[in-house]
Structure 1
């Protein structure tokens, strides 16, 4: 599965770097059309997380993953066949739906295959995925230097081929035991017992709501830093790329070592307190970067990037553990599918949140960090009672890949 993550994210890195340029220069879309296409396809993709999780509770997860990878490949190839706006929108939506579903199933696979070591497994997987993303971005940068439509098309084709390769690699993965399917086929299982429904679980839904806020660190690096630096007269614009590289290097270097601090459910919950501090520090240093000369501004922006990257790694560690620990074992797929909504919704709300922070200046960034920090404390209290119950979420099994 780690090889799959590397191939998948390398392809995604190719397309992420060229998507806007492709739709603009190859398909001939206007700025408004490109923005609408991204917004609509992203909104439709939100349904992929709960849908994929629900299906994975009923069917072998590797087969579902293979199907999703093939759907993503076909959607990407389909973009090469037309410049019709309606068709581009439809194909992009299908690809987004498959992408969100595949992300949830990848996490579910890690939960089932790694058992109690799921946090470390996820950390290694995320490190490999970040490395793949960086490789894809570097390859795209080299191709974009050509500035031709042919180069754009080859990058999109490379993205599609990466999904096909991921599907082939998934064929070699062992199928992990599914608690829901084991319970359904067990002779001792009560015939009237129904799997828990996450949509009726108020505690879990409240937890997912807090997760949406905690995921806003993603918007800081995708939009916030770039816009903030673009609207300041002191920081060099080239600093944006350097801070993004710093973020990737830190994740690759420290995500796995940090994962050991959240290896148990209790430890993961405890990490919410330092996580709150990291978010608050990130907001404060962003606010402080508004004053002073070029050196001071660069210094505070670098400190903010470090703080938000630390928050990103801690938040991922906490999320990997708590999202599973709070879910009944017989409904892991359905619950993790609902949990996947947090990241999907954040992709829509995140740009609005960081834009509001930028519009209100230093006070806005301070409030941004403080709000997320307060949400960490709320989540810390929210999950306390639920976690005191006997764990139902994971079977202590490990399945090898071959």
Structure 2
């Protein structure tokens, strides 16, 4: 066993670099491998996500209601994936759990490819949704453990790689759709399945990061300290309140998935081709700006402070959507593009805040369990998000103003909610731990 003592480091305000002058990737070789995992994973997801509805409609022959039920079931089962994955990661080696989940996703995708039976399609879609949400949480947990104090910057790099993967997969899917044959759809689904196999093989080469939940605390005399009962987020009112506010802040996702496309579809003045262009704009901005913006939330205090400009961004985005319904074509296009830009900025700022606070508020020995519960926020948003944006659209300009203002107010509420927990003084002497590895 290896004895390690906690150390404290102070930020220098600069980005660590290698001897060649290039920015260093936090986490070393394992960190770089996990960035490649994110790229490959999301490239495969990009192949499938943009054509899944078309595949089930034209290849599997499902009705509109059946396709909707399929998507809803996958989303509902996926909600359980986040806390389940987090709990497993606190009990078993993280890389092994990740590999198992990636193989589960591969089996689910291949299963969809082998049948058109509706019952089996429901089962495979549910398994895929479960694996997807659990793997997403554990990838974040791996990044947290391997990158240490550089976790915000690493998560920014990870998100940049993931968005680049989405873009690559989407472009490949667009090319396949131009062919329009059944075989082309099947090849896209096969590519998605193979991407999960590739990700599992890449994860196999990653080292197991140190886990606070699998260390032994010892006293000054060298004897093991009594094991404390693991903390549970289900009894942590502050963390549960934080997760509740996170559910609202994640609504920017629904704006891009549902809100903007519906605004364009229901407008007689805006060309329908603007919808995919706004998605491209979103991806390009994230790839270009996520890493530079992450430095504004590199510490816990900075991340909490960032909630205030984030509040202004959400309010401005809602106002732009409200005004887009009141002008002609040029005005509407300009305001919708402006709204997409502002909501993308909000998305990037919230990602930075969320990465830091979700970890800072969690006890080290129960990081997996806590992050799993935090993952419920994004999963729940996928259910309430479409309802919120369609209600805003149906209400008219006032609805969008209330939508943006409501999220802005939630930012302020979260800023106050986490203040008490984050203001507690840290231990003056870090504990001595004995690693199991």
Corresponding position: 1:84 with 2:129: no
> Could you give the per-residue CA deviations for residues 70-128 of structure 1, whole angstroms, max 9, x where no partner exists?
00001100111111111100011001100000000000001100000000000000000
Instruction: Note the C-alpha offset of 1:154.
Output: 0.6
Q: Distance in 2 between matches of 1:104 and 1:185?
A: 30
* Paired residues of 1:325 and 1:391 also in contact (CA < 8 A): no
Instruction: Note the C-alpha offset of 1:183.
Output: 3.5
SS of alignment partner, residue 391 of structure 2? helix
Instruction: Note the C-alpha offset of 1:171.
Output: 1.0
Query: Who is 2:137 aligned against?
Result: 104
Structure 1, unpaired ranges of 5+: 396-402
Please identify, of 177-186 and 108-117, the stretch whose mean Cα deviation from structure 2 is larger: 177-186
Alignment of 1:117-196 (within 5 A): 117-183=150-216, 188-196=223-231
* Paired residues of 1:183 and 1:330 also in contact (CA < 8 A): no
Q: Distance in 1 between matches of 2:373 and 2:193?
A: 27
Q: Distance in 2 between matches of 1:192 and 1:12?
A: 42
Q: Distance in 1 between matches of 2:120 and 2:235?
A: 36
Q: Distance in 2 between matches of 1:78 and 1:213?
A: 34
Query: Who is 1:400 aligned against?
Result: none
* Paired residues of 2:217 and 2:225 also in contact (CA < 8 A): no
Please identify, of 294-303 and 369-378, the stretch whose mean Cα deviation from structure 2 is larger: 294-303
Corresponding position: 1:20 with 2:53: yes
Corresponding position: 1:213 with 2:248: yes
Q: Distance in 2 between matches of 1:346 and 1:88?
A: 24
* Paired residues of 1:65 and 1:102 also in contact (CA < 8 A): yes
Instruction: Note the C-alpha offset of 1:238.
Output: 1.1
Q: Distance in 1 between matches of 2:105 and 2:414?
A: 34
Please identify, of 297-306 and 328-337, the stretch whose mean Cα deviation from structure 2 is larger: 297-306
Corresponding position: 1:342 with 2:377: yes
Query: Who is 1:60 aligned against?
Result: 93
TM-score, with normalisation over the residues of structure 1? 0.96
Corresponding position: 1:254 with 2:254: no
Which contiguous aligned blocks of 4+ residues in structure 1 show a shift greater than 3 angstroms?
Answer: 183-192
* Paired residues of 2:218 and 2:225 also in contact (CA < 8 A): no
1:382 to 411, 414, 417: 417
Instruction: Note the C-alpha offset of 1:190.
Output: 4.0
Corresponding position: 1:354 with 2:389: yes
Indicate how the Cα distance of structure 1 residues 189 and 198 shifts in structure 2: closer, same or farther if over 3 A, else same.
farther
SS of alignment partner, residue 264 of structure 2? helix
Instruction: Note the C-alpha offset of 1:17.
Output: 1.2
Corresponding position: 1:239 with 2:253: no
2:323 to 282, 288, 293: 288
SS of alignment partner, residue 179 of structure 2? coil
Indicate how the Cα distance of structure 1 residues 391 and 328 shifts in structure 2: closer, same or farther if over 3 A, else same.
farther
SS of alignment partner, residue 206 of structure 2? coil
SS of alignment partner, residue 47 of structure 1? helix
Q: Distance in 2 between matches of 1:50 and 1:185?
A: 29
Query: Who is 2:71 aligned against?
Result: 38
Please identify, of 220-229 and 240-249, the stretch whose mean Cα deviation from structure 2 is larger: 240-249
Instruction: Note the C-alpha offset of 1:25.
Output: 1.0
